Amino acid sequence: KDEIKRIVKAFGEAAVLLASVGVDGVQIHGHEGYLIDQFMTALWNKRTDEYGGSLENRMRFPLEIIETIRSEVGKTFPIIFRYGVKHFAKECSHFGNFPWATALPSEDFEEKGRDIPESIEIAKILEKAGVDALDLDVGCYEGWYWAHPPCYMPHGYAIEYVSQVKKAVNIPVITAGRLGIPELAEEILRDGKADIISLGRALLADPYWPKKVLEGRIEDIRPCLGGHDGCVQRPLFHSRVLSCAVNPACGREREFELRPAIKQKKVLIVGGGVAGMEAARVAAIRGHQVILYEKSGELGGHLIEASAPDFK
């Protein structure tokens, strides 16, 4: 309990530091099976004191954090709370074999983590506690594919679960989950299923996504493939610099900035596959006069057969 008090106090101190340098608000990470979510969820919380057991007790830790932040920075400093409304966990796992605990789409299974009814109650509790907005999606480490959706997860897959919780509260609801298609994001907002769209990997693939949408340049958006190689595998599992399969400059924008060529040339590129097209694109951006030859009459190379699965 002494450690709990120290952690709660630290959240308040962190909020004060952030507010003092002009940060506009904070988001509390009660998500994905990390510490706060471990307190909130009966699957992991096996305490027998006032911090475990009933939902009221399991919510005590995050509510103490919220109360501390409020007491330190006041009521006008925005607090967002992030959590998953459904864990998609078939069992309690440990890091290393978590895929086996994950429920797959359309699988008939018994939810061992959090489900929608409890998430609705949590939303009401957080709203009453003075949280300014909720950031909702699905999944956890046991439900890995849901928290980190790969390419075969449908775009907007989480909204059917999030929208059920949104109906229960009056504060704004933010949501994520492969929402990088502008038409889909707009539809979700228009239908009132969420109030704010959150983008993560879509902005690694194309940081100018919002600007291009605003200007009506939808076809110019570089889409996220959901491949996980540069944004998850490299930094998380291999301790390498963040990157992106479709945006190699991601994380190293200054190093890989495309500048006009000092001497512009006429460039011939033979082969309209992935490498040829990228070489032509970069050379043209730098001001060269580019001619691209492809003997088959169709651009794309191995991307053509790679795009055969309907989820790619």
Q: Which residues are identified as catalytic?
A: 34
CA distance 230 to 237: 11
CA distance 117 to 114: 8
User: Which single residue is written with the structure tokens 């011939």?
Assistant: 268
CA distance 120 to 164: 8
- Specify the DSSP class assigned to residue 248: T
Answer yes or no: are the C-beta atoms of 246 and 228 closer than 8 Å.
no
C-alpha 288, offset from chain centre: 38
At 269 the three-state DSSP class reads: strand
CA distance 118 to 77: 27
Closest to 231 measured CA to CA, from 261, 200, 185: 200
- Tokens linked to 307: 């795009």
Q: Where are the alpha helices (DSSP H) in 21-106?
A: 35-40, 55-58, 60-73
CA distance 138 to 115: 10
C-alpha 121, offset from chain centre: 23
Please state, in angstroms and as integers, the Cα–Cα distance from residue 24 to each residue in 122, 150, 198, following that order: 25, 32, 17
For residue 26, give the amino acid letter. Answer: V
